Amino acid sequence: MERVCFLLKVKRDRLTEYKQRHKTVWPEMLAALGETGWHNYSLFLRQDGLLVGYLETPDYRKALEGMANREVNLRWQQEMAPFFEGLEGRRPDEGLLRLEEIFHLA
């Protein structure tokens, strides 16, 4: 199982709405994440907009690819894109900055 941690940056003026949107993630989006191998998925948000994501998956590349062509994911990414800084035309799921795991206490 791969443990994946990534960063994104939420615009400061959109923090409240971003948090609100994640209180009501579409059921079909949640189902698609589970079906494509996104497990134990969490998001953490700092007050300055730094977003830290964490998930566990058998294969991160396959998990990303599995979501990439799902219609529900394309709609979700389109709606979420305006919340983020620095995407330069990419979808949020294409702009994830993956961090290198250097230690894990099992």
Catalytic residues: 22
- Pairwise CA distance, residues 12 & 28, whole Å: 28
- SS3 for the chain is CEEEEEEEEECHHHHHHHHHHHHHCCHHHHHHHHHCCCEEEEEEECCCCEEEEEEEECCHHHHHHHHHCCHHHHHHHHHHHHHECCCCCCCHHHCCEEECCCCCCC
C-beta separation of 18 from 10 below 8 A: yes
